[in-house]
Structure formats: C-alpha cells, structure tokens
Structure 1
Amino acid sequence: MSNLTKIFENHKAFIPFVVADDPDFDTTVANIVALANNGADIVEVGIPFSDPVADGPVIQAGDLRAFAAGVSTKTVFQIVEQARKQTDVPIVFLTYLNIVFKYGYKAFCQKCQSLNISGLVIPDLPYESKAEIMPAANQYGIDIIPLITPTSGHRIEKIAKAATGFIYVVSSMGITGERDAFFDGLKDLVAEIKKYTDVPTAIGFGVHTPEQAQEMATIADGVIVGSAIVDIVAKEKQQAPAKIAAFTKSMRTAVDRSEVKA
C-alpha cells in the first residue's frame, strides 16, 4: 500500500492546492506550512505551466504571477526543500507532462523522492501513454495519480485497476474553477470506480465552500480544493498565510463532519 493510500484509512482526506511561487518564494513556503498546520492531509503544489489545459482562469492567473516572480522547476523544488524544514506533510505535484519530460523522467522522480514528494498528478498524461514515465516512478516510489472524469466511460475499469495512491475524480466537465453545481452522477461515478479498486477517491474541480466539501466527502474518500485557495493568494498576496490557515480549518471541520464513507 502506498503512503498516500494509507492517509485515507478510516479518515476523510482534505487536499488543498497552491501554485508554487505565487506570489513569491517565501509566501509559497508559508502557505504550504499554513495548510499543513491547519488540517491538510496532503498538499498539492502546482508547477506553473504555459498551457495548463485543465486549469481555469484563477489558477492560470496564479501561474502568471509565478512566472512574473521568475519561477522555474528548480525554484519549485527549492520551495519544497524550504517547506520540508518546517513540515513533513505529504506533498504531490500537479504538473504537465512536458515539464517532467524536459527535466528527465528519472531525474525528476529521483528529485521528488529526495524531497519526500509522494505523487504526481499529470492532467495531460492519458492512461495509454503513461508507460513512458512508470519505470522511473516505480523506481523512486512516486505514485502517478490518475484522473477519472464524467466522460471516462469504458476507460474507468482499466484506469482504476492500475491506480496507486488515490484517484482524482473530476467533479464536472470542463476546467478548474469555483462552481455551484456539479455532475449529478458523481455518486454513481465513484461507485463504478469502487467496483474495480480499493484505491481511495478524492473529488476535485470547483469545490470552494465548507458545505460543498462536506457533501463531496460523503461521496468520496477525500476532497481537493484549489481555486478557492489560489483566489485567497491573489487577494491577500504576502498576507495570504493567515487567511489560508483560517480557510483550511473551516474546510477541515466540514470534511470531518462527513460521516458516510463512500
């Protein structure tokens, strides 16, 4: 069982997301620590990319702020290295395949292992193409976390059976961003996934209120929240860590209120 999978045992997981180097290096470190100290089970750190096909305008704007700060893949690793001096919270990267490919699959996964990065979420890596990264990921103990969407259809079985860590269940068709309505077949989608695997599920894309977090945690094993936190960073800038801490506490409480295990 992977270290990420163990986090979900008898416990609903809260997984918040921040963009690395948004708005700057030190604030990102403080944001990660604030998340870790106030209820995050796993912190998802986004590596800024020029063409983030899965990300909506809020996260794209965060990427642009990071680019303005001079972000690079090396910077992202250095941010995690600094955060590791204050927290051992499990971390996964959200990245795009070209970033990992350019760095080198083996070198990237080896660096992740050295920083205790547990997994990678790669939205533009289809199941059928993941064989190219799996040898390096397996060698260094890095979970490649798959995404299953409302349109995955007949591919759900093979994606679920091959999954490790956890499965990122996309709440709605489209891109990331706060929303008030989700795919109305989410319960059935998670149930379908559960036919093929015991790997836990976490719902993301659009969750931004405690009420939504509680609802999603009754359906799945965890909840992922991104744009709402990136929006706090956009508004608060260097003062974001305190607001992020308060928001994380409220979401943690909501997730814990969920009693129905998927």
Structure 2
Amino acid sequence: MEPTTSRVINAPATRITQAFARAREEKRGALMPYFMCGYPSAEQSTRIIVAAAEGGADIIELGMPFSDPLADGATVQHAGQIALEKGMTVKGCMEVARQVSAQTTVPLVFMGYYNPILAYGVERFCQDASTHGVSGLIIPDLPLEEAEPLHQAAKQNGLALIFLIPPTTPEERIEQIAELVASGIGGFIYCVSLSGVTGERKELPPHLHEFIQRVRTHTQKYQIPLAVGFGLSTPQHIATVTSFADGAVVGSALVTLIDRSDEKKQVDVVRQYIQSLSQK
C-alpha cells in the first residue's frame, strides 16, 4: 500500500473497508445488493437503489449494461437489455451514481465489462467514477494478466479494483489475485459460488464453505474481506453464507422482484426485501 497520504486516507475505497468493519463489529455479514443502472428506467433505478440503502444495504453494486454480458444469467441480461434500449450509457451510469451518492453514504461499486471502459478511456473512467461517488469496480471479463492499467488508474483515483474468483481457480492464481488486491486500496474479493452465470438458485452449492476456506488461506494474511455472490436470494442463504464469509451479494432475485412489481410499488417492495435480508 502507498504511504498514508491524505489522498489514500480519504480514498473512496476506504468506505468499502469501513462497511465490512462495521458489519464485523456488529457480528454479521455485509449485505450487498446489485441493481442495473437504468432498469426499469434511469429515474426509477435511482429511487430503488436509494431505497435499498434505506433498507439496510451495506454496499451496493451498480450494474453497467453491456450488449455482450458473458457472466450474466438471463434475468440480469434482461434488465441490461431494457436499460440499453432506454438509452443507458456509461455516462448515464455515472449520473445514477452521482444522484444516489448525494442521498446516501453507502459505498457504491460499479460492476461492468471492460469494453465500454476502454471506449470511455480508462483514466477518465476512474476519475469520473471517483468524483461521482463510486468506491470500487468489479469487471468480470478482465483477466488478471491485463488488469494492470485499470488497477493503477483505480488506485490513483482512490478506487478499489475487485476481482472474481470462481471455485475452479488454481491456488497460484488465488495467491496472485490476493497480492494484487492487497497492493491496492480497500476492496474485497468476490467469490463466485459456482462456475457459470448469475441467477437465482434454491440450494447453495455443497462445497461452498470448503471453497471459501481455501480462498481464505491466501487472503487471511492481508485481511481481505470475502464476499459470495451468484445464486443467493433468501434470508437463509444470506445467514448461511455470512456464517463463513464476510459479505453476501444478491442480484437476480432483486431484478425478478422489480420485474414482477407494479412500478408504483417497486421502491417499497425493494426496501422491504432488503430489510428482510438484512441482519441488522
């Protein structure tokens, strides 16, 4: 980590670290809902995200819609397609983040694909994300070997670059990711509960606990928080996962909930759902 300059101390990424620390002090896991920027509309997505913060979310992932979302299941793809059809862009995602961050202190993390970031400009993207209230970035299709330009730009702008680790990841690669995350500011590692795409599932994978323990052997010395995502949807899922991990991500279940709710009720329905999952 860099010397403790005021820029690092006040970096947006430290909000992520503080959110995990707060949850740990309260003897619970951090709840991390995912929302697609621009779904069902730009204005409504902003209202819904603020409602999630009010409902008890600790960290909020903001999806950036993309035309070829390799890691997304059908539910999140559907939300992204609608957002794109309604004109959501990277700049529009920045505006959603700005509006949300003006109304809540809950840390925001962009989750999106690398192509739109390259087109926008890596440096400019990180600068704008930082000034629009974002604390970190999750880029599912960015390989470790190609991550250095974004990692450096993120670090220079006080952002955490967060990596995904699926169960098939070899030990050596987990160690490399842990080292890279530790060299940045704040952040966590996103443990993918199973190989494949996002989506709701009734049962958690049987080897999930063992997988998290395996990752923990590489991250413990750096005190990097571990969050679990893909397939979580019920309070029982959250309680189980956070008994051995530091955080739990809920995504597809929220998209489905929004999709099935009348627009006038979506904000209240999301707030209540987050409250039902929150262990506060």
Do these two structures clear the TM 0.5 threshold for a shared fold by scoring above it?
A: yes
Could you list the per-position Cα deviations for residues 185-220 of structure 1 after superposition, in whole angstroms to 9, with x for gaps in the alignment?
222222122222210001000001111111111120
Name 2:213's counterpart in structure 1. Answer: 191
Aligned partners of 2:200 and 2:231 also within 8 Å: yes
Structure 2 equivalent of residue 260 of structure 1: none
Q: Is residue 276 of structure 2 the alignment partner of residue 241 of structure 1? A: no
Does structure 1 retain, via aligned residues, the 8 Å contact 2:98–2:133?
no
CA distance in 2, matches of 1:23, 1:229: 12
Report 1:87-106 matches (<5 A): 87-106=104-123
Q: Distance in 1 between matches of 2:105 and 2:169?
A: 34
How far apart are the structure 2 equivalents of 1:237 and 1:145? 34
Unaligned runs of 5+ in 2: 1-8
Runs of 4+ residues over 3 Å off in structure 1: none
Q: Is the 8 A contact 2:127 2:157 kept in 1?
A: yes
The whole-number CA distance in structure 1 between the counterparts of 2:225 and 2:122 is 26
State which of 212, 221, 234 in structure 1 corresponds to 2:237.
212
Q: Find the partner of 1:135 among 137, 152, 165.
A: 152
66-75 or 200-209, which moves further after superposition?
Answer: 66-75
1:41 aligns with 2:58: yes
Count of aligned pairs between the two proteins: 254
Match of 2:179 among 150, 153, 161: 161
Give distance in 1, aligned partners of 2:89 and 2:206. 39
Deviation at residue 237 of structure 1 after TM alignment = 5.3
In structure 1, how many angstroms separate the alpha carbons of the residues matched to 2:176 and 2:162?
14
Q: 2: CA distance between counterparts of 1:183 and 1:104?
A: 38
Contact 1:41 1:90 in 2 (8 A): yes
Distance in 2 between the 1:161 and 1:17 partners?
A: 26
- Aligned partners of 1:90 and 1:117 also within 8 Å: yes
Retained in 1: the 8 A contact 2:37–2:65?
Answer: yes
Instruction: Quote the residue 1:85 is aligned against.
Output: 102
| One of 18, 25, 38 as aligned partner of 2:35 | 18
* CA RMSD after TM alignment: 1.4
Determine the structure 2 residue equivalent to 1:7.
Answer: 19
Aligned to 2:3: none
Mapped partners of 2:97, 2:213: distance in 1? 35
Q: CA deviation at 1:103?
A: 0.5
- After alignment, is 224-233 or 5-14 more displaced? 5-14
SS in 2 for 1:99: helix
Are the counterparts in 1 of residues 60 and 107 from structure 2 also a CA contact under 8 Å?
yes
The whole-number CA distance in structure 2 between the counterparts of 1:237 and 1:16 is 20
- Deviations, residues 43-79 of structure 1 (Å, cap 9, x unaligned): 1000000011000000000011112211111111111
Unmatched 5+ stretches in structure 1 = 257-262
Contact preservation (8 Å) 1:186, 1:219: no
State the TM-score, normalized to the length of structure 2.
0.87
Change (3 A) 1:237 1:46: farther
Contact 1:150 1:183 in 2 (8 A): no
